[in-house]
A and B are shown apart, each in its own frame.
Chain A
Amino acid sequence: MSASTLGSGALSPQMMILGLVVQQEDTIAGVARRLNNQFPSARFSRTAAYKDLPILASKGYVRLTEKGPPNEPTLDRYQGTPDGAKLFDGWLLHTEPPGVRDVLQCKLEFVTREHLAAFIGIVREDEQAYTSAHDIAHNRVRREQRSRLARGRPVDWRVRLRGIQSKDEAMLWSLMSKRLGNLREELEAVLDEISNGAADGG
């Protein structure tokens, strides 16, 4: 398997699918549902589990444990192999700097004066989307806090990890929202200066 699809710094659907099957034996349909539920913002292809599980099986990282009914390949059931678990642990516990392909960073390179007003519009739209995503994650953190306080005793490590993941997600969307808010304000200032003829540096 190539390093580009299963590299330790990359976040590929194949690696997530492998992780989900190592975590718990499941059908193709079950893995597809968990991939979508657990990593919603990653927007992995809906057909990724269907395509990648047979590929992972052919490489020996997962194995077919139960064939589904004829014409129902999504009910084929897979289990992680020791080789698959080893590969996944390698990804989990080692890293290399991932490539960051930030869309707005790249688009800024090509924005002209004529694009500016419309570009500010898309930054605002993305900012609102991240603000809403933060709101959702924030509400989850609050629900978890209420549940923790109602329980009134220390929670086990799995609940702690989920709580940490929720906080991290809320922080991530919050940072993105603030970053885009700052970017929008700066672009609006440039647009104002252009409109007033003050930023006509040629």
Chain B
Amino acid sequence: MVAEVLSVEGVWKGISSGGRWTGVLEDVSFDVGRGEVVAIVGRRLGGKTTLLKIAAGMERPDRGGVSLGSQRLAGLRDRAWARLLGHEIVWIDRDGPRLDMEVSKFVGWPLALHGRGRRHSEQLAARALERVGAQECSGRHWAELSNWQRVLVGLARAFAGSPRIVIIDDLLDALGGRDTEKASDLLRLLVEESEPRCGVLMSASEGESAIFADQEFSLTRKGTLKLLSGRPSGDADVKPFLKHAETRAHPA
């Protein structure tokens, strides 16, 4: 049994326009366990980012709730939540920093904000960049980085401290093929080396970056969540003709 880091329970979210409510998320529930990578796949503008923002406490659901361990995010005051964001809850996306800054500052900023001190934060940022092999990006700006370097820098920022949950919005989608696999391998290593062991929640428009996740959910057009893989209950509903795919000879 994996200890839960993040629980999303019965979340509903919609948009009201002209007196009409349109559902974006309908009764969405899932957990992210310690050391687990959970992926949400779905079409563009289909509600994935909304779901991730709710999971991070950046948006409030119309109904339902989110818990980080035993702490309910909805019950927190803004200041208490702000203390969690960037420290225990880390958000990274393909847009990078909202303010133009050097990569070293972008990586170290959350640490500095959470009381590590400027010099110590710089040291931790340098170490984090070196760990992912992106030390040469240190003095550069986000706009100057390739997609691959943005992924490395995003992961360095996410794992520079001791996050409980890392939320990655669409970042790995800009890659493809071998780079997706390399980034997924790096993410897995960072999760396994994290102390205490954190969880990862990520979104992807393409299924490719989600293939390496422990659980993969699809966000349907109706706004409901469908488990695609990683089901805990085995494969009871597998048709016989597909079931023996499991036995295909694939030596290690």
**Does B2 have its Cβ within 8 Å of any Cβ on chain A?**
no
Contact digits for B237-249, partner A, Cβ 8 Å, 1 yes 0 no: 1110111111111
Count of A interface residues, CB-CB < 8 Å:
42
B221 near A40: Cβ-Cβ < 8 Å: no
**Does A137 have its Cβ within 8 Å of any Cβ on chain B?**
yes
CA distance in complex: A56, B60 (Å)? 67
B185 near A174: Cβ-Cβ < 8 Å: no
Contact digits for A37-77, partner B, Cβ 8 Å, 1 yes 0 no: 11011010000000000000000000000000000000000
B242 near A41: Cβ-Cβ < 8 Å: yes
A174-B207, A175-B207 given; A134·B244 CB < 8 A:
no
**Does B226 have its Cβ within 8 Å of any Cβ on chain A?**
yes
Chain B nearest Cβ from A185, distance in angstroms: 6
CA distance in complex: A129, B169 (Å)? 29
Residue among A132, A171, A178, A182 making CB contact with B211, cutoff 8 Å: A171
Task: Kindly state the interface size class of chain B when it binds its partner.
Answer: 35 or more
CA distance in complex: A135, B207 (Å)? 13
> Chain A contacts of B208 at CB under 8 A?
167, 171
Q: Which residues of B30-44 are within 8 A (CB) of A?
A: 41
Residue among A140, A145, A162, A175 making CB contact with B184, cutoff 8 Å: A145
Nearest B residue to A139 via CB reads B229
A135-B235, A137-B245, A149-B185 given; A177·B228 CB < 8 A:
yes
Nearest A residue to B236 via CB reads A132
B188 near A149: Cβ-Cβ < 8 Å: yes
Residue among A129, A166, A170 making CB contact with B238, cutoff 8 Å: A129
A138-B211, A142-B214, A170-B211 given; A133·B242 CB < 8 A:
yes
A134-B228, A174-B207, A174-B228 given; A185·B222 CB < 8 A:
yes
> Chain B contacts of A148 at CB under 8 A?
185
Q: List 9 A-B contacts (CB under 8 A).
A: A38-B248, A40-B245, A41-B242, A131-B228, A132-B238, A132-B242, A136-B242, A141-B212, A147-B252
Q: A-contacting residues of B (Cβ < 8 Å)? A: 41, 181, 184-185, 188-189, 207-208, 211-212, 214, 216, 218, 220-222, 226, 228-231, 235, 237-239, 241-250, 252
Q: A136-B238, A138-B211 are in contact. List 17 more A-B contacts (CB 8 A).
A: A34-B249, A40-B245, A41-B241, A125-B239, A131-B226, A132-B239, A132-B242, A132-B243, A135-B231, A145-B188, A167-B181, A169-B245, A170-B211, A171-B207, A174-B207, A177-B228, A185-B222
